């Protein structure tokens, strides 16, 4: 990422754009605010403890904690400490109390200990050891948001929306979910058994996976066919925008200016805000990219595009699905609202809130939701997602079985008149039908995006770029 590094810095508040519970996947992390944005929220001052426990409670307004609330908390704490079936030390109880307070706010706020901060840093760099999945805690269980490309999870056939039922034979429930999700990470080469279930299915699937050291390149660029570029971004990490500029620039230098491009953000779980801003800026010449708004003044930021569209205005299609989340939704919204691209596929995940990491000391921090983000049109996509311009169901196609065709054109008829301008002994071209069929059967959504892109490019005069 060209705008900032993303290592958590103690003593400075840092921002998050992510789906929660980052499990063996670098999809979201802390980051410094870029130079052209307002500074992030300052560390929150913690209230000092009262020196007189017997002082009468001051009059409080509705919603404020009074002395009875404090007494109830103390009583519950003491009851658990003395009567719980197993002995629990005070440190464990205090951590559980903090964790419960934050988790009760929303699915994204949480308490980070030393291990959590280390994981956050690993997620930012894209280098980690695990399975390569983004997992969300839902109703006391673990649900897959999306697998990361070219990882053990993706190779095993894990899909967005799958639920993890067991890990290493242990059933996941609300009581052990925090401990169970930690088992998805581990040393490279170590094994882990998952039992999953696909959406709308009651069939349990057992998977035997091996954790890997994974360094994921978040950007892949290739030519679909002459003149049409395919860009795949699997997540937004600190080097994504710079990697995109390099790889796309090399392809354009080799093949010339493209007629159009497909940006594939399907199953992209999100990541860095600044990476999303940088990628959006690469395809825009002007306009707002995203704004954030919260209670604190410093949570209010606005990001603008600068001149320099890498595609020089060539038409774009952005592919999305239910696994397109967070930072990927920022890019989708920016390109849609600025009329730079058509969104094609399924409605996106709908995570439109910002987290700020507030360090408490060298080894602990609080990640808390501090703002909502808005697309250039001022729309919040929180719990709504981005509706595609062209809806496309998650379909697959297969070639139909048929016998050999003896006569497929005039040229197959006996005694047909020859084309006086055709070269002798040259087979008639199939107009790419074989290649089209191969793309459609391997990735139906991409084949439809390419067809739409060709239609847009045909209406755009050669050499004219908006």
Active site residues: 326, 337, 351
C-alpha distances (whole Å) from 104 to each of 270, 372, 383 are 23, 18, 17
Task: Residue 130: name the closest of 113, 138, 112, 118 by CA.
Answer: 118
**Which two tokens mark 436?**
């089209």
Cβ(80)–Cβ(88) below 8 Å: yes
Three-state DSSP string of 168-208: CCEECCCCCHHHHHHCCCCCCCCEEEEEEECCCCCCEEEEE
Residues near 259 by beta carbon (within 8 Å), at least 6 away in sequence: 227, 228, 314, 315, 453, 454, 457
Tell me, what DSSP letter sits at residue 219? E
> Are the beta carbons of 291 and 240 closer than 8 angstroms?
no
Token couple for 401 = 């079985």
Q: What number of other Cβ atoms are within 10 A of residue 169's Cβ? A: 8
Contacts with 232 (C-beta within 8 Å, 6 or more apart), sequence order: 149, 219, 220, 221, 264
Q: Which helix (H) or strand (E) segment is 130 a member of?
A: strand 127-130
- Sign, CA torsion 302/307/313/317: negative
Instruction: Report d(CA 264, CA 344) in Å as an integer.
Output: 10
């Amino acid at each position: 990422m060209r705008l900032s590094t993303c290592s958590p810095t103690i003593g400075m508040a840092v921002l998050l754009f992510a789906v929660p519970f980052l499990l063996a996947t670098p999809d979201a992390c802390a980051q410094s605010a870029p130079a052209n944005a307002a500074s992030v929220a300052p560390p929150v001052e913690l209230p000092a403890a009262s020196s007189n426990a017997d002082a009468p409670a001051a009059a409080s307004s509705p919603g404020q904690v009074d002395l009875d609330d404090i007494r109830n908390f103390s009583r519950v704490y003491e009851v658990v400490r003395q009567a719980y079936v197993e002995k629990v030390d005070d440190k464990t109880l205090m951590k559980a109390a903090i964790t419960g307070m934050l988790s009760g706010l929303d699915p994204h706020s949480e308490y980070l200990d030393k291990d959590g901060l280390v994981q956050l840093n690993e997620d930012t760099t894209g280098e980690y050891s695990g399975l390569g999945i983004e997992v969300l805690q839902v109703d006391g269980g673990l649900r897959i948001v999306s697998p990361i490309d070219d990882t053990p999870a993706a190779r095993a056939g894990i899909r967005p929306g799958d639920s993890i039922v067991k890990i290493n034979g242990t059933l996941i429930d609300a009581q052990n979910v925090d401990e169970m999700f930690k088992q998805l990470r581990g040393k490279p080469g170590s094994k882990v058994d998952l039992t999953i279930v696909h959406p709308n299915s009651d069939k349990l699937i057992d998977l035997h996976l091996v954790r890997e050291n994974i360094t994921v390149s978040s950007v892949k660029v290739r030519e679909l066919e002459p003149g049409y570029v395919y860009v795949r971004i699997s997540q937004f990490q600190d080097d994504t925008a710079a990697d995109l500029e390099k790889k796309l620039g090399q392809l354009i230098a080799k093949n010339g200016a493209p007629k159009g491009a497909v940006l594939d953000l399907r199953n992209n779980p999100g990541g860095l805000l600044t990476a999303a801003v940088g990628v959006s800026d690469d395809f825009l010449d002007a306009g707002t990219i995203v704004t954030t708004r919260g209670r604190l003044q410093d949570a209010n930021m606005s990001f603008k595009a600068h001149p320099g569209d890498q595609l020089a205005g060539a038409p774009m299609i952005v592919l999305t699905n239910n696994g397109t989340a967070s930072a990927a939704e920022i890019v989708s919204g920016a390109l849609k609202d600025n009329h730079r691209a058509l969104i094609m596929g399924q409605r996106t995940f709908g995570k439109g809130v910002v987290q700020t990491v507030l360090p408490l000391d060298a080894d602990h921090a609080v990640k808390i939701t501090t703002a909502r983000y808005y697309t250039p049109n001022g729309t919040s996509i929180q719990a709504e997602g981005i509706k595609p311009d062209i809806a496309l169901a998650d379909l697959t196609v297969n070639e139909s079985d048929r016998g050999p065709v003896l006569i497929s054109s005039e040229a197959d008829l006996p005694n047909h008149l020859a084309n006086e301008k055709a070269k002798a002994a040259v087979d008639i071209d199939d107009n790419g039908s074989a290649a089209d069929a191969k793309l459609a059967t391997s990735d139906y959504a991409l084949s439809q995006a390419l067809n739409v892109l060709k239609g847009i490019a045909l209406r755009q005069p050669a050499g004219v770029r908006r």
